[in-house]
Each structure stands twice: as C-alpha cells, then as structure tokens.
Amino acid sequence: MGKQIKENIVFLPGLLCDKNLFDFQIRLFEKNFNCFVPEYPNSTKLNSIVDSVIKEIPFKEYHLICLSMGGYLAFELMKIQLKKIKKIALLNTKIREDTDEEKQKRIKFINASLSNSRFYPISKVVISTLIGRSSQNNIKLIKQIREMAARVGKEKYISHQKAILDRKLDIDYFKKIKKNFLIIGGDEDMITPKDDALFLSKIFKDSKLIIIKKCGHLSSMEKPLLTYKYLKEFLNPMR
C-alpha cells in the first residue's frame, strides 16, 4: 500500500488565545493530519486579520476548526475561500453581531486595559464567566489561560476587541452555504450561551449540534478529550 496522504486542518483561536488553546487536540490530530495555527496580526480591522490569515495558510484545501473569535474570522474566511474549506467545526462562537450590552462590555475592557499600566485581563471575575463551574478551581487550567493571555499581550487584545466591535454579518449569505458543520457549545458557557449554538445549527442546515455538559466557553481546554472525540468523529468517522 502507498503512503496515506494526510488531510489538513487550520485552527483559529479565540480572543487572547494562541495555539495552546488547541494543544491537546493538535497533538492527537498530528498523527493523521497536517495541523496549522496562524498568528493573528495586531490589527483593529477584522478583514485585515483575515487577509493575514489567508497569506499564512500553507494548504490548498483544509478543514477549519475555530473557537469564539476564531469563528468570527471563519465567517469572513468563508466569503473568500469557501471552495478551499472542506468541513467546518464551530466551537463556542456565535453568528450574530454583539448586542449593545456586549459592545459596552468590550469598550469597558478596552478602556480598563488602556488606563492600567499592568495588563491583567484574566481576573477572577473574568474566569468566573470564561470557564464552567466545574473548572473554577482547576489551578493548572487557569494558569494556562493566563499564560496565553500574557503571550498575546495588551496591544493585540485591544486591537482585536476593536475589530470585533466593528463586525457586520449578512445572515442570508450563510444560510446558502452547503458544507458539513459541527457546532459545539457548553451548557455553562456565559459568553456564547447554548442558544447561540442552537441558532448556528438553524443557519447551517447541514450541521450537527453538540452541547457539552459542565463546560464553559473554552471547550477545547475544559473538556479536551471529549472535544477531540467529537472533532475526530466529524472529520473522519472511519479513521
């Protein structure tokens, strides 16, 4: 038998996250897939970030796995490279613009970061909304989340918050997309609640919806093995 040709996966991390968001899944997927995680530029425009991501992607075609802000980028990427994208997994994200309340929260976080010389975005209050109740005392997990945020840094955090504030969506366009989607939400996700996951499944008709129990906004880190299991079954049920 000839050598099996590996398929490709592009992972798009969320706000204040880097490749470590998917570290567990990548280590397992690398046996059978080529995996790539782009580094987002310091830009206040979502389109500019997407343009940079496109230039970085080394594959002619690929599966897409994204979480939170990564989903926002994926929606823009679909408009440009839909033919190159095979299957799409949307984790803890939403296909709607921010509400006025959510916009005010972003502006508040931006202003707080600008006014403080010390960059400490992952406070106890933020942790309480970022991860599920069962993970609140997971010291190792919280340390990993804070280390990611530190690596991304203050400048990119502010820029990316501004980029998210400006995003616009044409829901009718996405309703026409005929691709296989996996939609994962957490039943304790306070940032993109399970209603957002349910709405995604209504927009993308050819989709499978999974709500992970006792899981908050960072499914890939809170429930790494379970998330990998669902992704593996979705990308290649026979492998």
User: Could you tell me the two tokens for 157?
Assistant: 């955090």
Q: How far apart are CA 187 and CA 88, in angstroms?
A: 21
Q: How far apart are CA 26 and CA 6, in angstroms?
A: 14
The pLDDT value given to residue 197: 98
Q: How far apart are CA 144 and CA 150, in angstroms?
A: 10
Q: How far apart are CA 152 and CA 40, in angstroms?
A: 9
Q: Write down the domain spans for the chain.
A: 7-235
Write out the chain's pLDDT in tens, 239 residues: 456 789 999 999 999 999 999 999 999 999 999 999 999 999 999 999 999 999 999 999 999 999 999 999 999 999 999 999 999 999 999 999 899 999 999 999 899 888 887 787 778 888 999 999 999 999 999 999 999 999 999 999 999 999 999 888 999 999 999 999 999 999 999 999 999 999 999 999 999 999 999 999 999 999 999 999 999 999 985 55
Q: String of b and e for 61-75 (b: at least 16 CB within 10 Å)?
A: ebbbbbbbbbbbbbb
Q: H or E stretch including 143?
A: helix 139-152
Structural class in CATH, domain 7-235? alpha beta
The pLDDT value given to residue 215: 98
- Residue 123 backbone zone (phi > 0: left; psi -120 to 50: alpha; other: beta): beta
Compute the CA torsion angle 110, 123, 191, 29 (nearest 10 deg).
110
Strand 62-67 relative to strand 180-186, pairing = unpaired
Predicted TM-score of the model (pTM): 0.95
**3-state helix/strand/coil string of 159-221:** HHHHHHHCCCCCHHHHHCCCCEEEEEEECCCCCCCHHHHHHHHHHCCCEEEEEECCCCCCHHH
Q: H or E stretch including 36?
A: strand 33-36
User: Could you tell me the two tokens for 35?
Assistant: 């995996």
What are the distances in angstroms from CA 135 to CA 16, 105, 213? 19, 23, 12
